[in-house]
Structure 1
Amino acid sequence: MNTEQLLRKFAYPIGILFPWLLTPFAFLVTDSLPKANVPLLYIVMVVFIAINVTVELAIINALSSFFAFSFFFAEPYGSIMIHQDEDLLTISLFLLTSVLVGYMATKHKKNVQKIRMREFMTDIELELLERLPKAIDTKDVIEALRDALKPWREHCVLITHDDNWATHPMIRRLTNLRKTYLEELLELRLTDEVIKKIPELEQEHDVYFLYSSRQVIGLLRIAAENIPHLPRDIFLLLLHQVNISLERTRLAADLEKEKIAKENELLRSSLLSSVSHDFRTPLTTMIGATSTVLEFGEHLDKQQTKELLSTVLEEAERLNRYTQNLLDMTRLGFGQMKLECDWVSIEEILGVVKKRLRPLLIRNYLTESISPDMPSLYVHAAFLEQAIFNIIDNAIKFSPPDASIDIECTTENNKIIILICDQGTGIPEDEREKVFERFHTAEKGDRRKSGSGLGLTICRGMVVAHGGTVRIQANPKRIGNKYNPGCCLRIELPIHEQNSQQLPKTEE
């Protein structure tokens, strides 16, 4: 217990008795100083009481000092009766001075306390205003307000949907009916008319609303009478800033939902456009070839029939690739792609890819260069094969006739590098990241090549699932070619030690 608490506890006994206890010391002073200086001792005591306790106690102390001085230092001694006009004037001036000085000292103390409280509230407001713009959601805003109110946690309670606010001492003292009112206010459905009535509801139920334009987020109940000199204007401004932040986070959340909805709609439109464009051509070709065989089969020779059936097979395989890409994209999007890794050589991977590419390599050809010290890969073989297949399939679409597609496999900085380069029209630098987006193709309109715009997206998803990266760079061998500069797609995969234990299966 500090000095101020002790003074408050024993305030009235001190105020009444202390002047009488000070009197022996006053007698000692009169031996060396004029009697006229004695009232100054009592005035000092009155000022001390006024500053450290209250003005009321200072006035009581001044009256008690008046009687003590009259009893011991004014003639006749030992009586509060005063016969000398001079003593009467001295004592009256002493009493007036004591009351005025005590009042002024107390008023000054209150002003100092008010200034300190305003400074304290300003610091709280500045700290809160620094946190509110960084708040991402409603929870962050409420948490920032809760931290700001910590100095008065015993005198205020924050009522929200998620808190056990009913156990707070301020709530326990309320009647069940008032608790029910608070619960109803918390569930209040906001409309324009209700928002206009919020000031009335706050005054009626002695709470402050924390709300956005859609719903009540919480209620603040504060015992302001127990917080001396709380500046109401700063406090209300603080709550106003909190409500603005709650509305901002709501608008941000709604904007994010709207953005996601628009993106989903765009994806659906892109998917429908892609499916209608890329499925229609092979289906039309298949229908035409099949109907020709059915209608004119008897008039066709074996070679013509074989060519038509080969066309149907090729287009069916193309449809199968499109369908596989859509399925892979769905699995990537929903995180259902499971990696079942095993040790495999890059030669085995490329061997399977080349077999799958054989029907597509009609006008182009592959070259490969594999470093002799290439380590084995610890990968899901089918996924890596699909990623490389998608890259080369994309390169074939944009390569001129008789152009090669070059594959180079090396190691660099403890990584396996697979570089696939073509001699096509190239991809502008500002488009190189966009081609990895779903349904994006490097060319549009009449120049658009057949494809769903998913191949490279799936490629990146499969490589990233292995802890690797994929990026596009210029073809260093064709930098000087303005018309067909080509480009290279660079895959980087981590190298694993073969003598280590088999890595656990991961899920992407």
Structure 2
Amino acid sequence: MLLKLPSIRQYVIVITLVMSTTFGLFFLREVLTLANFSLIYLLVVLLIAARAGTRPSLLAAVLCFLSFNFFLIKPYYTFLVSDSRELLDLIVFLLVAFLVGQLASNARQQAKNARQRADEKEVLHKLASMFNQLSTREGIYDALQNVLSEELHTRHVHILPYASVVMLTDQTVCYLVLGQGEHVYGTLCVAFDEPPDETKLSLLNTSAIQARMALERIELTEKLSRSQTIEEADRLKTALLHAVSHDLRTPITIIKTSASSLMSLRQQLDVEQQNEMLAVIESEADELNRMVGNLLDMSRLQAGALYLHLELNSLEEVIGDVAARMYQLHKAERLSISFPDDMPLVKFDYGLILQAVTNLVENALRYEPAESKIEIVTTLATANNEARIAVINHGPTIVSEVRQHLFEPFYHGVEGNIGLGLAITKGIIEAHQGRITVEDTPGGGATFTFTLSLSKESAEITL
């Protein structure tokens, strides 16, 4: 296309096109009229103006005028015109050619500007869409570099991690500071193969402004997140102090009292009474150990320091271990367990899922009537490619006010205990990319259900 050719080549092509047209008309000069010649030359001028711009079209108009006069109007091969009407026709042709060339050139420029604006909007929309999906500075930098390299055909794009004031000696290199005032995020350095035009500079500036706004958004989000983290830490600290001062003090007090009684009244107590006190001490020590363990687990969850050791494991084995532990603690079979016949192995962290199921069962046992059993029902949801484990108790129904806070750490509930088991369980399940929900059990009670995804390996290995 003429648009992309250097200026000298444009003019050479203009001259060649006018000469070729004149050569063709030369053999038709006895057949065609002056009006026909004028229209054909105007078409040539219009084509050149639409493709090459104003200056080439003006050259074409002058060349067409001279060729028209020299080769096609009698007397031939001279610029003299014998008929005044033909002279008027030539002058009118030249004026019309200039006007047509200018109008076509203006239309071409407007179309070019419209395309450039559309391209610029497309690039800016692409940048904005990418920036909205990113949440890190590095992501913003990478997106900006990739888009500018692709859309502006740059030689090099780099972002300096500081505000750089540069005395430019190379017109092909641009430096733009990303930020303003004290909020400076770096300097955008862009190198072109040739000095950029106004369109590229405008797009470059607008892109830098968009990047600055995206970086400001990320900075504000980080500040808000830090503020929320501090508030959450303060809330957890307050709750922890309350737990230490109340919930942890209770078993410590019982242990201290029982131990003191054993020491001071040992001679007055028979063996059975001493064993009862020792059993109380052991039970409260276990409770204290459980509370401290929950506090440590909760702190790891809050700090994001929970690491999963994922392996293919048997849910039947996990739930069997929970049942054995509950039997050892309660000296009775309190669990009713069911599995599908085609239960596959599932990829999870054995110790963490064991803890999660234990927490759910211990929570259920607090409310389960002594004459009934906790149900643990495992099913396969093949449509969602997941296993579902439901822990069902038949105690009192959970009121809505309590239900919405069940999984919050340090929520004391009606009975006022420390309230960490369910929060830890939720953290463990979500770390496995699963979900946990609570629903009412028909006839009274609560059903806690959590899910674990079935991996490709799970589908291939069935017990």
TM more than 0.5: yes
C-alpha distance in 1 between matches for 2:28 and 2:284: 119
Q: What's the offset of the Cα at 1:356? A: 1.9
Q: 2:442 matched to 1:476?
A: yes
Match of 1:240 in 2: 209
Match of 2:328 in 1: 355
Q: 2:410 matched to 1:407?
A: no
Q: 2:393 matched to 1:421?
A: yes
Match of 1:251 in 2: 220
- 1:19-61 CA deviation, whole Å, 9 max, x = no partner? 4554444444432344565454444333333332233233333
Question: 1:238-317 counterparts in 2 under 5 A?
Answer: 239-292=208-261, 294=263, 296-297=264-265, 300-302=268-270, 310-317=279-286
Match of 2:446 in 1: 487
Instruction: Confirm or deny: 8 A CA contact 2:435 2:451 kept in the other structure.
Output: yes
- 1:50-94 CA deviation, whole Å, 9 max, x = no partner? 332233233333333444344445666544456765555554444
Instruction: Confirm or deny: 8 A CA contact 2:149 2:157 kept in the other structure.
Output: no
Number of matched pairs: 444
Q: TM-score, normalised by structure 1?
A: 0.66
SS at match of 1:216: strand
Percent of aligned positions with the same letter in both sequences?
A: 25
One-letter amino acid matched to 1:487: A
Match of 1:176 in 2: none
SS at match of 1:230: helix
One-letter amino acid matched to 2:399: P
SS at match of 1:207: strand
Change beyond 3 A, Cα 1:495–1:288? same
Q: Say which is worse superposed, 460-469 or 427-436, in terms of deviation.
A: 460-469
Instruction: Confirm or deny: 8 A CA contact 2:158 2:188 kept in the other structure.
Output: yes
One-letter amino acid matched to 1:209: V
One-letter amino acid matched to 2:100: V
One-letter amino acid matched to 2:374: I
Q: TM-score, normalised by structure 2?
A: 0.72
One-letter amino acid matched to 2:115: R
SS at match of 2:248: helix
- 1:428-474 CA deviation, whole Å, 9 max, x = no partner? 2464464234323322xxx514xx32233445567788998765443
Instruction: Confirm or deny: 8 A CA contact 2:323 2:335 kept in the other structure.
Output: no
Q: What's the offset of the Cα at 1:420? A: 4.6
Question: 1:55-454 counterparts in 2 under 5 A?
Answer: 55-72=54-71, 77-80=76-79, 88-142=87-141, 144-146=143-145, 148-149=147-148, 152-155=151-154, 157-161=156-160, 186-188=161-163, 206-211=174-179, 214-219=183-188, 221=190, 230=199, 236-237=205-206, 239-292=208-261, 294=263, 296-297=264-265, 300-302=268-270, 310-329=279-298, 334-336=305-307, 338=309, 344=317, 349-357=322-330, 367-369=334-336, 390-391=359-360, 393-395=362-364, 397=366, 403-404=370-371, 406-408=373-375, 412-413=379-380, 419-423=391-395, 425-429=396-400, 431-432=402-403, 434-443=405-414, 447-449=415-417, 452-454=418-420
One-letter amino acid matched to 1:118: R
- 1:165-202 CA deviation, whole Å, 9 max, x = no partner? xxxxxxxxxxxxxxxxxxxxx5129xxxxxxx99x9xx
SS at match of 1:246: helix
5+ residue gaps in structure 2? 382-386
Instruction: Confirm or deny: 8 A CA contact 1:345 1:376 kept in the other structure.
Output: no
C-alpha distance in 2 between matches for 1:376 and 1:109: 71
Change beyond 3 A, Cα 1:224–1:428? farther
Instruction: Confirm or deny: 8 A CA contact 2:376 2:389 kept in the other structure.
Output: yes
SS at match of 1:99: helix
C-alpha distance in 2 between matches for 1:477 and 1:55: 88
Instruction: Confirm or deny: 8 A CA contact 2:49 2:101 kept in the other structure.
Output: yes
Q: What's the offset of the Cα at 1:145? A: 4.3
C-alpha distance in 1 between matches for 2:244 and 2:149: 59
Instruction: Confirm or deny: 8 A CA contact 1:438 1:454 kept in the other structure.
Output: yes
One-letter amino acid matched to 1:246: L
Instruction: Confirm or deny: 8 A CA contact 1:357 1:393 kept in the other structure.
Output: no
Match of 2:384 in 1: none
Instruction: Confirm or deny: 8 A CA contact 2:154 2:192 kept in the other structure.
Output: yes
Change beyond 3 A, Cα 1:274–1:51? same
Query: What is the alpha-carbon root mean square deviation over aligned residues?
Result: 5.0
Change beyond 3 A, Cα 1:324–1:356? farther
C-alpha distance in 1 between matches for 2:178 and 2:434: 47
5+ residue gaps in structure 1? 162-185, 190-196, 359-364, 479-485, 504-508
Q: 2:421 matched to 1:455?
A: yes
Change beyond 3 A, Cα 1:65–1:268? same
Change beyond 3 A, Cα 1:11–1:373? closer
C-alpha distance in 2 between matches for 1:492 and 1:14: 73
- 1:94-145 CA deviation, whole Å, 9 max, x = no partner? 4444333333332332222222322333344444444443333334444554
C-alpha distance in 2 between matches for 1:243 and 1:372: 56
C-alpha distance in 1 between matches for 2:13 and 2:296: 88
Change beyond 3 A, Cα 1:187–1:93? same
C-alpha distance in 1 between matches for 2:4 and 2:124: 29
Q: What's the offset of the Cα at 1:353? A: 1.8
Q: What's the offset of the Cα at 1:246? A: 2.5
Change beyond 3 A, Cα 1:157–1:431? farther
Q: What's the offset of the Cα at 1:236? A: 5.0
C-alpha distance in 1 between matches for 2:454 and 2:159: 52
Q: What's the offset of the Cα at 1:416? A: 8.5
Instruction: Confirm or deny: 8 A CA contact 1:26 1:41 kept in the other structure.
Output: no
Q: What's the offset of the Cα at 1:211? A: 3.4
Change beyond 3 A, Cα 1:393–1:263? same
Match of 1:32 in 2: 31
